[in-house]
Amino acid sequence: MWSGLGQAATVAQLVGADVGGLISMIMQAALTAQQNKKECEQLARRVFMIAELLPHLQDPEVMPRPEVRRPLAGLGDTLREAHELVMSCQGMTMVYRLVTAGRQADKFRDVQSKIDSYLLVFPFISHIYITRRLDRIYNILLPNDMSTMPSPSSGSHSHEVELQAKVVLHGDEGEKFTFAELAAATNNFADDREIGKGGFGTVYIGYLLSDGREVAIKRMHKDEMHGTMAKEFLAEVAILPSLRHEHIICLYGSCVLEHEKRQLLPPFRKIKMVEERLIVYEYTKNGSLHDHLHGTPPWPSSSSSPVRASWKMRIETLLGVSRAIEYLQCYNERPVIHRDINSSNILFDATWAPRLADFGASVRCDPSTRSVRPDAIYGTFGYIDLECAMSVIAKPTIDVYSFGVVMLEVLTGMRALFYQEEDVHKVFNCWEDPNTIPAILAEVTLPFIEVGEVWKVMDRRLTPEPTARQLEAADLVAQTAARCVRLRGEDRPAISEVVANLEAALELARRDG
* Contact status, residue 202 vs residue 138, Cβ threshold 8 Å: yes
Strand intervals (E) in 309-416: 336-337, 346-348, 354-356, 363-364
> pLDDT value at position 418?
76
Phi/psi for 412 (5° steps) reads: -100, -25
Chain center to CA of 46: 18
> pLDDT value at position 15?
59
Q: What is the rounded CA–CA span in Å between residue 275 and residue 259?
A: 6
Q: Does an H or E element contain 13, and which? A: helix 11-15
> pLDDT value at position 13?
58
Long-range contacts of 501-505 (CB under 8 A, 24+ apart): 501/476, 501/477, 502/315, 502/318, 502/319, 502/322, 502/477, 503/319, 504/476, 505/315, 505/473, 505/474, 505/476, 505/477
Alpha helices in 54-93 (DSSP H): 66-69, 75-87
Which DSSP string corresponds to 194-239?
EEEEETTEEEEEEE-TTT--EEEEEE--GGGTTSHHHHHHHHHHHH
3-class DSSP state for residue 354?
strand
3-class DSSP state for residue 271?
strand
Catalytic residues: 340
Known binding-site positions for ATP? 218
Q: What is the rounded CA–CA span in Å between residue 427 and residue 464?
A: 11
Cα–Cα nearest to 216, from 224, 228, 204: 204
- The CATH label, of 3.30.200.20, 3.90.1150.10, 1.20.120.790, 3.20.20.70, for the domain at 138-282 is 3.30.200.20
Known binding-site positions? 218
Q: What is the rounded CA–CA span in Å between residue 457 and residue 439?
A: 14
Residues contacting 294, CB < 8 A, separation 6+: 301, 343, 413, 415
> pLDDT value at position 207?
94
pTM across the whole model = 0.75
> pLDDT value at position 486?
92
Q: Which one-letter DSSP state was computed for residue 452?
A: T
* Contact status, residue 370 vs residue 162, Cβ threshold 8 Å: no
Cα–Cα nearest to 240, from 364, 374, 341: 364
Q: What is the rounded CA–CA span in Å between residue 276 and residue 354?
A: 30
What is the third-level CATH fold of 289-511?
A: Transferase(Phosphotransferase); domain 1 (1.10.510)
Q: What is the pLDDT along the chain (513 residues), one digit of tens a residue?
A: 333 323 234 555 555 667 777 888 888 888 888 788 888 888 888 888 777 766 666 555 555 666 566 666 777 888 888 888 888 887 765 545 554 556 777 888 888 888 877 776 654 444 444 444 433 333 333 333 333 333 333 333 333 333 333 334 434 557 888 889 999 999 999 989 988 765 455 789 999 988 889 999 988 765 554 566 677 788 888 888 888 899 999 999 988 877 666 666 666 666 556 567 888 999 998 989 998 998 766 666 556 788 888 899 999 999 999 999 999 999 888 899 999 999 999 999 999 999 999 898 899 988 888 888 876 777 888 898 888 877 778 899 999 999 999 999 999 999 998 765 444 444 444 443 444 566 789 888 999 999 999 999 999 888 778 889 999 999 999 999 999 999 889 999 999 999 999 999 999 998 876
Q: What is the rounded CA–CA span in Å between residue 406 and residue 481?
A: 8
Maximum alpha-carbon separation in the chain: 87
Other C-beta atoms lying within 10 Å of the C-beta of residue 495? 23
* Contact status, residue 14 vs residue 63, Cβ threshold 8 Å: yes
Strand intervals (E) in 82-165: none
Chain center to CA of 189: 27
Q: What is the rounded CA–CA span in Å between residue 98 and residue 323?
A: 46
